[in-house]
Amino acid sequence: MSLPFFDHCAGDGSQLPIAMAHRGFSGEGLENSMAAFRAAVGLGYRYLETDVHATSDGVVLLFHDDTLDRLTDGRGKVSDLPAAEAAKVRIGGSEPIPRLDELLAELPDVRLNLDVKDWNSVASIAAVIEEHQVHDRVLVTSFSDRRRRAVLKRLSRPVAASAGVGSIALFTLLGPVLPRTVFQWLMRRILRDVHALQVPVRRGIVKVVTPASIRRAHALGLVVHVWTVNEPEEMHRLLELGVDGLVTDRADLLREVLVERGEWPHG
């Protein structure tokens, strides 16, 4: 993979599996807080998965839900709130909702997997990437292929990108039934601006991550990242299958697994 976002090598130059801390790392449920991001970095993580929403005046916040109600002492939709009011809200009653520009400045060595959660944030997230020139530090993803492409069209340089639900469904369902040449031709058109497939192990009764699906992805030059994997036995199993990265809530356990396997960059 040629884009700098994916450069994650051992001392001998071999590619290591990418470990992503899902919304940072917090045993107290303070997801997507600076405390959670700092904790993951403190464990040695170089990659953080996070979510983006924009306030009513276009400030990009790192927050998963459309509304404040589940995680904070505030109420209402993030997109209805001006940034000055959002700054008063606390995750778990204690941690402010971080802005993307704050995280980029405080943790300049991390790479960010940015899940664009709504249309309101498309222009704002592109503007932050352009202003801070962090094209090499971000991967843009969204459940919506249209929303992801809308961000990419606003950027002056390429960034890493992951496919949306529709593209991944076609890849998963058509792979076993189409002739290889036809499948590859079709997928190269559908996934023309995609570098990664970020997928669950399964969706309902459909197995998404299999040895065959990994081979098909790699044949197309795509990496496979699996979310959200929290059990060490499953981490080992997926790494043995050849996945290129894991997203986890248990950054501590994934670190232990990768250290045990000799695949942790910091020894």
Q: d(Cα 183, Cα 155) in Å, to the nearest integer?
A: 30
Selected catalytic residue, list 8, 64, 132, 225: 64
Asked if 144 and 164 touch (Cβ cutoff 8 Å), the reply is yes
Q: d(Cα 267, Cα 47) in Å, to the nearest integer?
A: 17
Q: How far is CA 218 from CA 9, 196, 224, 234, in A?
A: 18, 10, 8, 21
Asked if 110 and 134 touch (Cβ cutoff 8 Å), the reply is no
Q: d(Cα 81, Cα 83) in Å, to the nearest integer?
A: 6
Sequence-ordered alpha helix ranges (H) in 107-144: 122-132
Query: Is 195 considered catalytic here?
Result: no
Selected catalytic residue, list 22, 53, 195, 225: 22
> How, if at all, do strands 47-54 and 245-248 pair?
unpaired
Q: d(Cα 52, Cα 35) in Å, to the nearest integer?
A: 17
DSSP label at residue 122: H
What type of residue sits at position 129? I
Strands in 18-144 per DSSP E: 18-22, 47-54, 60-62, 90-91, 95-96, 111-116, 138-141
Catalytic site positions: 22, 64
